[in-house]
Amino acid sequence: MKIAFVGKGGSGKTTLSSLFIRHLAAAGAAVVAIDADINQHLGPALGLDEAEAAALPAMGERLPLIKDYLRGTNPRIASAATMIKTTPPGRGSRLVRVREPNPVYDACARPVELDGGAVRLMVTGPFTDADLGVACYHSKTGAVELYLNHLVDGPDEYVVVDMTAGSDSFASGMFTRFDMTFLVAEPTRKGVSVYRQYKEYARDFGVALKVVGNKIQEQDDIDFLRAEVGDDLLVTVGRSDWVRAMEKGRPPRFDLLEEDNARALKTLRATADATYERRDPERYTRQMVHFHLKNAESWGNERTGADLAAQVDPGFVLGENIGEDAGERPGEESGERRGENAGGLLGEDIDADVEAGADASVSAPA
């Protein structure tokens, strides 16, 4: 299950995402945690000290390795250098899974021990002085998008991404890569402003969106959020002595988290799990291709000197039953056979499922 936490800066989204990750780990689930926020606070929220957090390998700095591995033997991709953040997988591409060992995890992930077990933590890397004036943060989050485009995951497997603050997530197609998006909102006008932006941008793309009310102090706070976001308000979270202790670097055992807050985390997981049965691999792949073609036309073709539309495999659908390399699925005789079965899914039907109005989905190169 692919889950994003979004919200305005200071809303508590990193704290909530770290609590959710701890909740999953305590239940014994397999988890990959990704910090895709420019501020890079997820590591400390999971218990790392400053030195440990600073030593985490940045995905953005290892993008050539990631591209080279994911490219595999895909004949439609001339070289790893022609891959951009939106490059979709096709026959011959290598796919990644939550539980497996692979060179991407070896290079980019580090285990973090939590109550109940370890999770894999990956980070995009901070925005450094060297980036000032010459790069945008999407050049780093592009590594996450490429990873998600090649990810095959199943039930009881979780990739939890702490996204960049505000509505900046819509500067790429990454916002469509998740089974569930939890928007963390405070009970203030500014707190719900990001919700309105997200709701407007996401409505044409079938994004599953629920609001987590944070920093709740009284019933009036809940009434305010309910009036502003309606049925999208899923749970609310109030003051937490456990979180205060965690922020001081002295987290108690996770089973000592307040009962109301623990119940809220269970609701988040149940809500995310419920989306599994509604997965639509064909639609997911069409959206992936849609954003790739937009980025190719906007800047990718010029940047790489290649026709990136040719990277699209029209007979390929990313799904759970596909083989370790995208070249084979269990029970199918050949790539040509699968192409016949899935043919027509991604060609002229792309725009039928992804409506216009996605201008914000084209961003700086990665």
Write the CA distances from 191 to 35, 196, 314, integer angstroms: 21, 10, 42
**pLDDT at residue number 233:** 98
**pLDDT at residue number 362:** 57
Inter-residue contact 31 to 21 (CB < 8 Å): yes
How far apart (Å, rounded) are the C-alpha atoms in residues 366 and 142? 5
Inter-residue contact 185 to 191 (CB < 8 Å): yes
Measured in degrees and rounded to the nearest 5, phi and psi for residue 104 equal -65, -45
Query: Comparing C-alpha atoms, which of 311, 312, 57, 3 is closest to residue 180?
Result: 3
Measured in degrees and rounded to the nearest 5, phi and psi for residue 71 equal -60, -40
Provide the strand spans (E) within 102-208: 110-114, 117-123, 151-152, 157-162, 180-185
Q: What is the identity of the amino acid at 343?
A: G
pLDDT tens digits, 172-202: 788 999 999 999 999 999 889 889 988 988 8
How far apart (Å, rounded) are the C-alpha atoms in residues 22 and 255? 10
Say if pTM beats, i.e. exceeds, 0.95. no
Q: What is the DSSP letter of 361?
A: G
**What is the pairing mode between strands 157-162 and 2-7?**
parallel
**pLDDT at residue number 119:** 98
| Domains in the chain with CATH codes | 2-281 (3.40.50.300)
**pLDDT at residue number 132:** 42
pLDDT tens digits, 42-93: 999 999 999 999 999 999 999 999 999 999 999 999 999 999 999 999 999 9
